[in-house]
Structure 1
Amino acid sequence: MADCKVTRKTRWPELVGVKGNIAVATIKAENPSLNVFTIKKGTIITAEYRSDRVRVWVDGCGVVYVAPHIG
Structure 2
Amino acid sequence: MASECQGKSSWPELLGVSGTTAVATIERENPLVTAIIVPPGTFITPDFRCDRVWVYVDSNNNVNEVPRIG
**In the alignment, structure 1 residue 34 sits paired with structure 2 residue 40:** no
Q: Which protein has the bigger helix share?
A: 2
Q: Could you say what secondary structure the match of 1:27 adopts? A: helix
**TM-score, scaled to structure 1:** 0.86
Q: Could you say what secondary structure the match of 2:7 adopts? A: coil
Gaps of 5+ in 1: 1-6
Give the total of aligned pairs.
65
Deviations 1:5-54 (A, max 9, x none): xx721110110000000000001111112111101021111100001100
Question: How do residues 1-71 of structure 1 correspond to structure 2 at under 5 angstroms?
Answer: 8-71=7-70
Aligned-residue CA RMSD (Å): 1.1
Larger-gyration structure (1/2): 1
**TM-score, scaled to structure 2:** 0.87
Q: In the aligned structure 2, how far is the partner of 1:18 from the partner of 1:51? A: 23
